[in-house]
Structure formats: C-alpha cells, structure tokens
C-alpha cells in the first residue's frame, strides 16, 4: 500500500509536490476520499492527503464570497453559510451512499474538482460557475493563483473553469474563493402525478420555457416535480401560473411545502432513487433535455430492467443497469445519438471501471488538445494519473 | 509575409485552411469580430493577417424546447435576442455595445452587461462552441447539453481574448423574458451613501436584475444627452431593476426603496410603465457617448473591486483626480463591483495623454490593492497588458502562457495581447528536477 503525506499548509504542500517531482513519484490527491470510488482506479506512489489544510479563511456574507482551504469539509462550509442564511447555490451532491461510502463526507474543493452540481444546475449553474479563484501548486512544484474574490473578472485565462471538473489531474489547490447566494425565503414544489417519460419531459421543458423561474425539474417514475423558490407572494403567484400552464398535461397535481421540498430535493440531489440496489452500475448522461426519453428508450429496448430518472428537465439522465463486465458502456454511449451529450460511469466495481472508459472518450483532435493542456500544468503526470480515462 | 492582409472567410473549411497555412508558414493571425473591443483586443498588428468573422452572420438553429440557439460568431449580440423575442425569449448578457458587437467577440471577451448581476456573464450563458485550432483541426466543445465532457475547455475559451482558437459557431442558452420588470431611480446626497446602499441591498438577500451607479457628472451628461429625467441634485444615482412576477417586483421595489431611504436617498422614483423603464435605462446606456460630448477624449477603465470597498475606492479616485489634474466620471456596474471610470483628457496634448495613462494605471493598481482585479469585462488586450504584473506573479503568468502553448505553440494567434512578456514555449516547457535532495523530512506521513 502506498504511504500517505499529509501537509499542514500551502508551503508544506508545495514541498510535498516538489519532493514527488524529484522522486518521480505519482500522487493520489485526496480531500476526504469521499469520491475515491468514482473515476478510473489508480495506482499511485503516494497518497497526498489534503485534510490537514483545512478551515475557513474569510467569509464576507455581504460580498457573497467565502474563502477556504482545500481540506475544508462541505458540511462545515454549509453550516457556516446557514448561520447567515446563505448557501452554495449549485447544491453539491453527497454521493457517498450512492458510491457505497459514508454519507456526509467530502470537501468543497473535492466537489469543485468533479464539477458536481445538484438540481439547481438549471438556474444557478454548476460548481464551475461558483469558483471565483484559487491558489495551488502545479506539477512543477510551483505555487500559482488565478481568478480572485470578485464577481467579475476577465484578467487572464479563466483557469477556475478549467480546474473545476479536472478531478485533481491538473494542479493541487490549497485555497479557493467561492461565490455564495442567499437562501430563498420559501421553497415549494409542484408535483405532477402519473406522467410517462416523454410527456413529463415535455411538461418540464414547457415549465422551464415559461417566465416562472423554475429552479428544479425532475421526473421520477410516476412523479414529476417542479421547484419554485423566492419571496412568498412570488412563489404563490408562480405556482398558480404553473398549474394553469400545465393543466393540459392531464396529470393529478400535488404540492410540497418548504420543509417537504427541502427533503425531496436533497434526495434528488443525492440520487437517492438509485441508491438501494448496490448490484447495479450507475451512469449519468448529460444530453439535450428533450432527448432524454429517447435515449432511455433505446437502452430499455436492450435492457428492460433499466431504472432511470431525469433531472435538469430531462438534460441529466441517471441510469441503473444490471451489473456486467463492461457496464454496457457501448450500449449507453451508443444510445446518446447525434444530438450530442456524454455519459459518465458513476458507480461500478473497480475491475469494471479499470476495463471501460469511465468518462466519455473524445474525438482524436480534442483528446490530443486535452493531453497538451494536462501537460501544460503537470508535465510529469504526477497528479491522479489516469483518473479521467 | 511582408505586408498585412485581411481575410474574410465564409466557411469553416476556409478558416481551417487559413489557420493551417498560417501555422505552416509561421504567419500571425488576429481574429476580429465587430472590432468594438475596449482593450485593443482585435487591434491588427503590422505583419499579421486580420481574420474577419463578419461573414459568419447566420442564425443556424433555434430550439425553444431546449432553450438554446446555435449561431455563427459574427451574429450580433442583439441579433440573437431579435431572432427569438417574438416567442418571448431573449439572450441574457447585454453589453452596452450589443447592437454592434458579435457573439464571437463576446465569447472571446466573456462580456457582461447591466443584467449580469442576476443572469451571469457570457460564460454562464454559453452551452457550446465549435472552434478551429491553429493546426486547422476543428473541435466542438459542449453542445445543447449542460457541462462539457472532459476538461472544461469551453470555460477556458470564454474570455481567452482570441489567443487560443477561432470560434466558428456558438450555442447559447435562451431565457424566457420575465413577466414584468421595473426600474427604480435612487438619488443620494453623497457617492458614499449610494455605494453603501448597493452593499445593503445585496446584504439584505436581494439580487436585483441590475444595479448600476452614476456619479453627478455622468448624470448631468446623460440628462443633457437623452433627457431621462434623472435628478440633477444627486451626487450618486442608482438605477436598480427588479424583475419577475408583478407581486414579486412590487414587493422588492418596496424593500429596495426602504433600504435606500434608510441611507438618506433624496430621490426614489419607480418606473410606472415599460416606456418609463426604458427611459430610465436610456441615460445609462448612452452614458459613454454622453460623456464624450463634454471632452475631446476619454479613457474607459474596467477594474473590479469587492462591493464593500466601493466607497473608499471612489474617494481615493477623487484624490488621484486632483493629483493628476484630470477629471474622472464614474458610470458602472455597482451591483457586482465592476467600475468604469472615464478619465477625461485631450489626446492632442501629449502631457494630458501621458497623465491620463498614469492616472488610469493608478486606478487599476488601486483596484488590485483592495482585493480586486484589473479588468471585469473588457479584457486585458493591449491596454492592460503591461499591468499584468501588478496582479500576477511571474509564475502565475508562466502557467497561463503554458496553457497558451497547448493551443498555439508558436504564439501566432492574436500576438502582442494579454502577456507583457512572451517566452518561447520550448523554454516554458522545460522541467527542472533537483536530484539528490530530501526536501521535507518534517511533513507528517503515514
Ligand atoms: C460603446 C461601447 C460599449 C461597450 N459596453 C460593453 C459592456 O457593457 N460590457 C462589455 O463586456 N463590453 C462592452 N464593450 C466592449 C466590447 O463591445 C466587447 O468586448 C465585445 O464582446 C467585443 O465584441 P466584438 O465583436 O466587437 O469583438 P472584437 O473587438 O472584434 O474582438 C474582441 C476580441 O475577440 C477576439 N475575437 C473576435 N471574434 C472572435 C472569434 N470568432 N474567435 C476567436 N476570437 C475572436 C478578437 O481577437 C479580440 O481579441 C463596449 C464597447 C463599446 C465600444
């Protein structure tokens, strides 16, 4: 088993990377290791544990910005923001239970590195849209920074976007500044009952195409949910308008209040619907919203037992398929079709993840470009080698 | 290549052939949209091909169900909204230059506008692009789906100032027009009170669709230019727009008005109809040309600062104005702390020109000193290139240049922009390894 290095500050972190560079040792970069079961399995010389570089550096509620160290747990950040009635608007999911790990784990930077986002991705953007700036160490053992703490910034390349979603393969961050937003006064949910997939996605797209500012749209088997947030009089008016807009869909309607909504959308966020059967593999597909049902239908024609639900108005399809050696990756990716999209294998046994592409394979020119980008940060491929394969 | 020339391709294969030719023959290329950049972003350089994207001016596909539009890069920003507004949709980022500037230029600059406070910048409203690399290879990033696969190169391309590739197609997110929008004019007896009000609105948990500030001089110019009905006695004027269903707008207008009164507002006027709302904005949108009426020349800056530092930054700017003996007028995106100081001068007077440049640089240094940045939306271009060292270390800049090398190893695309000092990619690529060293015996290990 690989040993673990646990630096306590940015300077020790830099020296640890410098050491690895000199030794020619690869690094398995971890916050709390809450997503270690996601991505290609790796075989690294050392574990670089960031949990020792932790804590809030600065929180300015009136600026809507929090600055924190890389090892800070999400739970700590969320608790702090809650005191000032603010939140991480992109709703970082807790995938622990889905991945067969503990719930409530994970660092905010870890969620950033996976560019993970929950149902509010639709209206508030993904993790990448909330990362204002960072400092970190590149694969040359150099400390560098990008971005800042302000809302608008086009000074130099937007490396924050690039780092978000890079799964720790470009640089090791020691500190980030993240945009936060006020918690809406009220959250309510309109439930449409008994719609089939295609009708449900049509209804969700109609709702999203309305001026009623829907901040969540999910279709679970038998239940389609639309979230409305804001000040009380506005929420009331928009719910009424949505009921009228969707009356034609012919579905029974119910409503969830603020508390019920919080639980409901947390479960959507954490993919609770697919958690139970651990003998399945789990995929997520990002696609044009209207294409979701057709993609699922293609897969279902081959694998009738597939379980599916649609977040992001149909644009994020979660799938559970019976386990098999290749996770049906050709079937899943083949089903996406010409309208565009990509699939990521979220949960599968290690041997399966080692055997098949976990992330969507890219066309040659793009793959070559991505490889040059990787090299521009980490020329010796020290950080999480192969994780994004 | 001895002489500069201009190419106006019409197809992607033509763009590809041009770039490939340039790569093979080491010829420099400057991509150009509408040429409205305020940082000299698309300024031609002596020995480069100017690659105009003006003929890429078609809207290719509108998909209302998926709320997206696929357009060519030469389509104007407003052209997108014009193509979809009959169905009640629009494209949210709205730079003041929106009648003229191209969406390709918006991608390259990550442009913003007065409504970006609530709806985000170009980068937050972009779904995909097609672009041509210097090798002539054509790649697609993103599409109609959310979140591009692999590294977020779409995010990197946005705001890359034409240095990484030539954008040949853009897919943007469309939004449905809000049911109602109302603008509130708030006049304050001091600039500080106006700036304070901005922070207080945000602190109250209200994110208006837009929150703009104008100082007394800007108000005077705009009023003379368009007659928007602005209060001429105010030292600081805020225009705050609230949108949503009527009940929400009424509710928030009342809360904002209350916050403003608490900060000593002497004018509180709410637009009563669409015509009046547009009129309130007309003065703001015409503010630059309006200021242009009272000065032979002006220099527009674009620093961004934490909202909480606005008061002190504005005060310090007034001091600098005295030192440099030049007037400064402020019209800006207060809600997100993005300043647009306009320095008034006469370019025919070499001393004034020199002082204006010094004054501008001092303001940007001030922005960085209080925790802000050199540019919020106009880009570095040529204009702020030599100030990059104020915000970034050499290592920071080297890392950015290495990324540039991954796209353009010979520095052929839009040369002379953004980076104060170019270093060869081969030199940047070298890795130094110190053998025979045990650098960190004291870091905890397990
Ligand atoms: C009066 C006025 C008001 C303005 N108001 C605002 C404002 O409110 N907010 C704001 O953000 N900006 C504003 N601007 C600045 C400017 O309009 C924006 O930066 C705009 O996005 C530039 O678009 P353009 O088509 O004119 O690009 P150009 O000026 O032609 O080019 C700008 C940059 O983009 C690159 N480029 C252009 N097209 C492509 C392409 N297809 N592929 C790759 N690179 C490309 C160029 O190389 C250059 O680096 C204003 C400008 C003026 C003159």
For the stretch B177-208, pLDDT in tens is: 999 999 999 999 999 999 999 999 999 999 99
The predicted structure's pLDDT at residue A123: 95
Please say if the pLDDT value at position B302 is more than 90: yes
Helices assigned H by DSSP within A30-158: 74-83, 108-113, 121-124
Whether A245 contacts chain B with CB within 8 A: no
Both B43 and B140 in one domain: the answer is yes
Beta carbons of B397 and A156 less than 8 Å apart: yes
Q: Using CB atoms, pick whichever of B152, B244, B388 lies closest to residue A162.
A: B152
Q: Which atom of ligand 1 is nearest to the CA of B31?
A: 47
Name the average pLDDT for chain B. Answer: 94
Would you tell me which residues 154-173 of chain B have a C-beta closer than 8 angstroms to some C-beta of chain A? 154-156, 158-160
| Number of structural domains in chain B | 3
Q: Residues B237-264: pLDDT tens digits?
A: 999 999 999 999 999 999 999 999 999 9
Please say if the pLDDT value at position B2 is more than 80: no
Is B446 contained in some domain?
no
The predicted structure's pLDDT at residue A278: 75
Specify the CATH number for the domain of residue B91.
3.30.465.10
Whether B338 contacts chain A with CB within 8 A: yes
Q: For residue A334, give the nearest of A269, A285, A264 by alpha carbon.
A: A285
CA angle (A320, A326, A330) in 5-degree steps = 80
Distance from CA of A317 to the nearest CA of B (A): 11
Quick one: average pLDDT of A337-355? 95
Q: Using CB atoms, pick whichever of A3, A181, A369 lies closest to residue B446.
A: A3
Would you tell me which residues 2-61 of chain B have a C-beta closer than 8 angstroms to some C-beta of chain A? none
Please say if the pLDDT value at position B438 is more than 70: no
Please say if the pLDDT value at position B440 is more than 70: no
Helix-, strand-, coil-residue percentages of chain B, each rounded to 5: 40, 20, 40
ipTM: 0.97
Q: For residue B239, give the nearest of B189, B281, B267, B272 by alpha carbon.
A: B281
Both B19 and B168 in one domain: the answer is yes
Please say if the pLDDT value at position B445 is more than 80: no
**Residue B45 binned pLDDT confidence (cut-offs 50, 70, 90):** confident
Please say if the pLDDT value at position B441 is more than 60: no
Specify the CATH number of the domain A1-183. Answer: 3.30.465.10
Q: Residues A220-269: pLDDT tens digits?
A: 999 999 999 999 999 999 999 999 999 988 889 999 999 999 999 999 99
The predicted structure's pLDDT at residue A348: 95
Both B82 and B157 in one domain: the answer is yes
Both B271 and B340 in one domain: the answer is no
Both B152 and B209 in one domain: the answer is no
Name the average pLDDT for chain A. Answer: 96
Share above pLDDT 90 across residues of chain A, in percent, rounded to a whole number: 94
The predicted structure's pLDDT at residue B44: 85
The predicted structure's pLDDT at residue B433: 77
Place of tokens 């001068």: B345
- A interface mutation test: which of B108, B134, B142, B149 has the most A CBs within 10 A? B149
Both B151 and B199 in one domain: the answer is no
Please say if the pLDDT value at position B434 is more than 90: no
Q: Residues B362-393: pLDDT tens digits?
A: 999 999 999 999 999 999 999 999 999 999 99
**Residue A1 binned pLDDT confidence (cut-offs 50, 70, 90):** low
Quick one: average pLDDT of B342-367? 96
Fold of A272-355: Alpha-Beta Plaits (3.30.70)
- What is the C-alpha to C-alpha distance for residues A257 and A259, in angstroms, rounded to an integer? 6
The predicted structure's pLDDT at residue B3: 58
Of the three residues B177, B194, B220, the one that is the final residue of a domain is B177
Beta carbons of B150 and A360 less than 8 Å apart: yes
Greatest Cα-to-Cα distance within chain B, rounded to the nearest angstrom:
76
Count of helices and strands (H, E) across chain B: 15, 17
Both B14 and B113 in one domain: the answer is yes
Would you list the domain boundaries of chain A?
1-183, 186-269, 272-355
What separation in angstroms does the CA of B438 have from each of B117, B355, B431, B441, B443? 50, 53, 18, 7, 11
The predicted structure's pLDDT at residue A277: 67
Fold of A186-269: Alpha-Beta Plaits (3.30.70)
Whether A366 contacts chain B with CB within 8 A: yes
Beta carbons of B379 and A154 less than 8 Å apart: yes
Quick one: average pLDDT of B83-97? 96
Please say if the pLDDT value at position B443 is more than 90: no
- What is the C-alpha to C-alpha distance for residues B228 and B340, in angstroms, rounded to an integer? 20
Q: Do the beta carbons of residue A80 and residue A56 sit within 8 Å?
A: yes
Both B155 and B190 in one domain: the answer is no
pTM tops 0.95, yes or no: yes
Beta carbons of A12 and B440 less than 8 Å apart: yes
DSSP string covering B247-302: HHHHHHHHHHHHHHHHTT-SEEEE--SHHHHHHHHHHHHTHHHHHHTTSSEEEE--
Both B211 and B356 in one domain: the answer is no
Both B92 and B154 in one domain: the answer is yes
Please say if the pLDDT value at position A276 is more than 80: no
Q: Do the beta carbons of residue B179 and residue A210 sit within 8 Å?
A: no
Q: Among A40-44, A100-104, A329-333, A351-355, which is the least confidently predicted range?
A: A100-104
Q: Residues A137-155: pLDDT tens digits?
A: 999 999 999 999 999 999 9
Both B145 and B249 in one domain: the answer is no
- What is the C-alpha to C-alpha distance for residues A191 and A224, in angstroms, rounded to an integer? 6
Is B434 contained in some domain?
no
* C-alpha R_g of chain B: 23
Is B63 contained in some domain?
yes
Which residues' Cβ are closer than 6 Å to ligand 1?
A: B 30-38, 41-42, 53, 73, 95-97, 101-102, 104-106, 108-109, 111-113, 161-162, 166-167, 288, 377-378, 414
Of the three residues B273, B289, B305, the one that is the final residue of a domain is B289
Residue B233 lies in domain: 180-289
Query: Two tokens at B360?
Result: 């501008």
Q: Residues B123-173: pLDDT tens digits?
A: 999 999 999 999 999 999 999 999 988 999 999 999 999 999 999 999 999
The predicted structure's pLDDT at residue B1: 44
- The DSSP symbol for A306 reads -
* C-alpha R_g of chain A: 21
Of the three residues B263, B289, B315, the one that is the final residue of a domain is B289
Both B74 and B86 in one domain: the answer is yes
Q: Do the beta carbons of residue A144 and residue A138 sit within 8 Å?
A: yes
- Ligand 1 binding pocket mutation candidate from B58, B76, B109, B165 (most atoms within 8 A of CB): B109
List the strands of the sheet with B341-345, edge to edge: B267-270, B180-188, B236-244, B210-215, B328-332, B341-345, B297-300
Is B164 contained in some domain?
yes
* Centroid of ligand 1 to alpha carbon of A310 (angstroms): 38
The predicted structure's pLDDT at residue A312: 98
Say whether A272-355 and A1-183 share the same fold: no
């Amino acid at each position: 088993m690989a040993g673990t290095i646990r630096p306590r500050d940015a300077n020790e972190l830099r020296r640890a990377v410098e050491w690895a560079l000199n030794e020619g040792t690869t690094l398995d970069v971890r916050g709390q290791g809450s997503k270690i079961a996601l991505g290609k399995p790796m075989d690294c010389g050392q574990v670089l544990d960031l949990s020792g570089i932790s804590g809030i550096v600065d929180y300015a509620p009136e600026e809507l910005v929090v600055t924190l160290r890389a090892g800070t747990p999400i739970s700590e950040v969320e608790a702090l923001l809650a005191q000032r009635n603010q939140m991480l608007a992109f709703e970082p999911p807790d995938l622990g239970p889905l991945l067969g790990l503990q719930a409530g784990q994970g660092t905010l930077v870890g969620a950033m590195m996976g560019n993970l986002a929950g149902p509010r991705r639709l209206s508030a953007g993904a993790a990448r849209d909330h990362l204002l700036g960072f400092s970190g160490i590149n694969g040359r053992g150099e400390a560098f920074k990008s971005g800042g703490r302000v809302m608008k910034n086009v000074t130099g390349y937007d490396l924050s976007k690039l780092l978000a979603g890079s799964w720790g393969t470009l640089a090791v961050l020691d500190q980030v500044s993240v945009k936060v937003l006020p918690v809406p006064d009220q959250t309510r949910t309109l439930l449409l009952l008994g719609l089939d997939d295609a009708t449900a996605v049509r209804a969700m797209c109609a709702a999203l195409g309305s001026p009623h500012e829907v901040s969540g749209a999910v279709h679970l088997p038998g239940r389609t949910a639309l979230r409305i947030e804001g000040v009380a009089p506005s929420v009331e008016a928009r719910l009424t308008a949505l009921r009228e807009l969707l009356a034609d869909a012919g579905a029974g309607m119910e409503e969830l209040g603020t508390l019920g909504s919080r639980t409901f959308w947390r479960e959507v966020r954490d993919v609770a619907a697919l958690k139970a059967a651990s003998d399945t593999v789990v995929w997520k597909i990002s696609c044009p919203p209207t294409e979701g049902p057709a993609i699922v239908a293609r897969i279902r024609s081959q694998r009738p037992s597939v379980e599916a639900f649609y977040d992001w108005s149909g644009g994020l399809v979660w799938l559970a398929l019976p386990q098999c050696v290749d996770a049906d990756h050709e079937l899943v990716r083949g089903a996406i079709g010409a309208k565009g999209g990509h699939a990521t294998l979220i949960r599968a046994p290690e041997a399966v993840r080692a055997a098949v592409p976990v992330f969507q394979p890219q066309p040659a020119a793009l793959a070559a470009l991505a490889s040059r980008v990787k090299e521009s940060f980490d020329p010796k491929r020290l950080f999480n080698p192969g994780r994004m394969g | 290549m001895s002489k500069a020339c201009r190419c106006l391709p019409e197809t992607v294969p033509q763009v590809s052939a041009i770039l490939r030719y340039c790569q093979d023959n080491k010829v420099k290329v400057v991509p150009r949209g509408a040429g409205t950049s305020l940082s000299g972003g698309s300024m031609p350089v002596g020995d480069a091909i100017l690659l105009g994207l003006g003929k890429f001016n078609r809207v290719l596909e509108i998909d209302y169900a998926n709320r997206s539009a696929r357009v060519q890069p030469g389509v104007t920003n407003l052209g997108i909204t014009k193509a979809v507004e009959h169905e009640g949709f629009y494209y949210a980022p709205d730079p003041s230059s929106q009648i003229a500037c191209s969406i390709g230029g918006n991608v390259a600059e990550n442009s913003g506008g007065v409504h970006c406070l609530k709806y985000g910048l170009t980068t937050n409203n972009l779904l995909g692009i097609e672009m041509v690399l210097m090798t002539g290879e054509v790649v697609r990033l993103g599409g109609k789906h959310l979140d591009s696969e692999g590294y977020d190169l779409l995010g990197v391309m946005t705001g890359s100032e034409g240095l990484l590739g030539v954008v040949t197609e853009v897919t943007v997110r469309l939004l449905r027009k809000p049911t109602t929008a109302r603008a509130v004019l708030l006049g304050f007896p001091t600039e500080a009170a106006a700036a304070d009000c901005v922070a207080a609105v945000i602190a109250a948990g209200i994110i208006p669709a837009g929150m703009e500030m104008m100082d007394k001089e800007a108000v005077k110019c705009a009023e003379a230019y368009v007659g928007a009905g602005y209060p001429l006695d105010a030292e600081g004027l805020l225009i705050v727009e609230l949108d949503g269903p009527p009940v929400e707008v009424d509710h928030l207008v009342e809360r904002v008005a209350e916050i403003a009164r608490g900060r000593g507002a002497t004018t509180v006027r709410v637009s009563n109809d669409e015509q009046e709302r547009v009129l309130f904005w007309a003065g703001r949108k015409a503010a630059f040309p309006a200021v242009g009426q009272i000065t032979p020349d002006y220099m527009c800056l674009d620093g961004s600062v934490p909202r909480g530092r606005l008061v002190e930054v504005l005060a310090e700017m007034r001091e600098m104005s005295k030192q440099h003996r030049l007037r400064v007028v402020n019209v800006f995106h207060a809600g997100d702390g993005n300043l647009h100081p306009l320095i008034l001068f006469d370019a025919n007077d070499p001393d004034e020109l020199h002082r204006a440049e010094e004054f501008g640089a001092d303001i940007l240094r001030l922005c960085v000193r209080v925790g802000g940045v050199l540019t919020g939306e106009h880009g570095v271009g040529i204009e702020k290139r030599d100030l990059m060292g104020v915000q970034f270390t050499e290592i920071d800049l080297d890392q950015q240049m290495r990324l540039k090398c991954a796209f353009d190893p010979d520095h052929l695309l839009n040369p002379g922009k953004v980076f104060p000092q170019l270093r060869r990619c081969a030199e940047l690529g070298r890795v130094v390894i110190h053998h025979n060293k045990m650098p960190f015996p004291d870091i905890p290990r397990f």
